[in-house]
Amino acid sequence: MSATEHPTNTPDTANGATDARPRAALLARLLDPEQVIMFDGAMGTMLYARGVFINQCYDELVLRSPDLVREIHAAYVKAGAEVLETNTFGANRAKLTQYGLEGQVTAINTKAAQLAREAAGDHRLVSGAVGPLGVRLEPYGPTSKDEARGLFREQMLALKAGGADCFLLETFTDLEELEQAILAAREVDAGMPVIAQATVGPDLRTSFGASPEDIARVLDRWGVDVIGLNCSVGPQTILEAIERMAAVTTRKLSAQPNAGMPRDVGGRSMYMASPEYMATYARHLIQAGAKIVGGCCGTTPDHIKAMVEGVRPLAPRTRVIVAHDGTGAVRDEPVGRAQVPLDQRSRFGAKIANGQFVTSVEIVPPRGVDTVKLELDAAALHKAGVDAINVPDGPRAQSRMGAIATSLIIERHGIEAVTHYCCRDRNLLGMLSDLLGASALGLRNMLLITGDPPKMGPYPDATAVFDIDAIGLTNLVSKLNRGLDPGNNPIGEPTRFVVGVGVNPAAIDPAHELKRFHWKVEAGAEYAITQPVFDPAQLEYFLTSIDDVRIPIVAGIWPLVSARNAEFLANEVPGVTVPKEVLDRMRKANDKSKEHALAEGIAIARESLERVRGSVQGVQVSAPFGRIELALEVFG
């Protein structure tokens, strides 16, 4: 997501014609259910701040003071907004009649769209903003549904003529009125995207009593492209409502909260939520399922800029466009330095780059400060010829020695570490500091993961950060490998990380897991390690599904030690699937003796290893309960 300014109204082609291709690409992102898009903030708040009294018709300012409106649009462009809303929230015939402007519906809406289009250029979208009519519809008022639809259609025809790319129906409380606006939009242009946003109060209901679930289900049934909420309340309430909506619809969600609830300050209504506060909630909204975010009443370009910066790590797949350099040209984001070739970063990376089979053993860091066993195990694994030791980072949200410190201790003994690094415990700045320090200390092999939530562990009251997820973290490390920080600022010598990610061939939602894997590869992943594989057929099927984005895959293997161990993994460890056949084998062996169960577990692990050896580029064998001798038995 871009947080930088585009040239406004600058033609990209030699003859001065606009280039529709960037807009088409952005429209595709707008409709993609997983792509994050940033809208602008309040127009009325900005006009009021510039001395326009509230007793005036703000919509008419596009005709009376076009430069003022254009300047506000430009400020949101500079802040990083990707979609600009037209200044037409109340520009329907019913509301304009109150000002004696009913004859200027077409002129106002057309001009408003043109002004936004000028500011947006070819690299931003314009959404035609359409608000409620301000009248009651039948049976509670004198306006028929057909009349309402006609009033909406009149406004939307003018918005489309002026250059709007989509329709934004916002701040509706009456879903029946919203339905007429949706029908009008489809009559004007059945192909134009429609974003339909209702508004709720502190009780999470519209003034007509509709709940977030009601809103989502109805709008889903009516077939709008994006379902959302805006205005009325601050981000905390909107977040709760979005969480409830995400549970009942698969359509893309949008959220444009106010900058908190208005407070009376010296006789004026003020919105007190800071840009930093709005940025925090923008991240929360995206993580809750809203992929379109922006601001409503009280938000300013400063709020939008902070929100753009805050959510950028959550949108690693988007192309960044930066400001023109004075020549009118548009440049791509800085490319930084060339990455150090994979085979020159580490021994582990060299084997992966050369197509050789890699072996590793996973050892959980110690609970305390005693590292004697860790160091003895590291020396033994090095002597056994294992390529690397995998070091989990707070697995199952338990408190253990940090993965970076553990990895440094391991590498004293001649064997390389593969350092797991998770997003749970650190904000973006903390991650950046850790990674730069790890690189300076010589760590090279990374496995980037989102991390288990704290409620899984023995400290359920501990908080999680999750500024970014594994996809964003992969993007961050890939930038560091090109000598750039998250803001595309040069850091000098690039890092030399071998970038690995996790993948689960047995995920409960295979389509979602596959989609995330694609994004990780696109973000820069160079190899992947799977969750423990107990069903080789499942892994083989997964491998066929990633032929289009194949990177080296290292299979996770876990030697079971007992039936109880197998049942624990099957039922209490997220992301691990143990087939019934394996559980049955372990139970039968366990009935004979503990020794039989242990032998059976080793046998199952060996069988899995032999079956997948030809399909993957390596294995990671876990050392159950820290017993590395069991892991070495799997290698044979």
Binding-site residues for Zn(2+) sit at: 231, 296-297
Q: Residue 304 and residue 298: Cα distance in Å, rounded?
A: 11
Pairing of strands 252-256, 226-230: parallel
- Could you tell me if 196 and 182 are in contact, meaning their C-beta atoms sit under 8 angstroms apart? yes
Pairing of strands 416-422, 445-449: parallel
* Residue with token string 């997003």: 423
DSSP string, 89-157: TT-SHHHHGGGT-GGGHHHHHHHHHHHHHHHHTTSSEEEEEE---SSPBTTSSSB-HHHHHHHHHHHHH
* Residue with token string 């990674």: 435
CB count within 10 Å of CB 68 equals 17
DSSP string, 176-231: HHHHHHHHHHHHH-TTS-EEEEE---TTSS-TT---HHHHHHHHHHHT-SEEEEES
Structure tokens that stand for 625 in this block: 């309960």
Beta bridge partners of 85: 127
Q: Residue 342 and residue 411: Cα distance in Å, rounded?
A: 19
- Could you tell me if 387 and 352 are in contact, meaning their C-beta atoms sit under 8 angstroms apart? no
Map residue 342 onto helix, strand or coil: helix
Tell me how long the chain is.
Answer: 636
Nearest to 239 by CA among 198, 276, 283: 283
The 3-state secondary structure of 495-532, one letter per residue? CCCEEEEEECCCCCCHHHHHHHHHHHHHHCCCEEEEEE
The burial of 287, by beta-carbon neighbours within 10 Å (0-12 exposed, 13-18 middle, 19 or more buried), is given as: middle
Rg (CA), the chain: 28
Q: Residue 457 and residue 427: Cα distance in Å, rounded?
A: 20
- Could you tell me if 177 and 130 are in contact, meaning their C-beta atoms sit under 8 angstroms apart? no
Query: Annotated binding site: which residue ranges?
Result: 231, 296-297
Nearest to 107 by CA among 43, 157, 56, 153: 157
Torsion on CA atoms 88, 91, 96, 99, rounded to nearest 10: 10
Reported as type and span, the H/E element at residue 288 is helix 275-288
In degrees rounded to 5, what are phi and psi of residue 286? -65, -45
Distance of CA 334 to the CA centre of its chain: 22
In degrees rounded to 5, what are phi and psi of residue 244? -70, -35
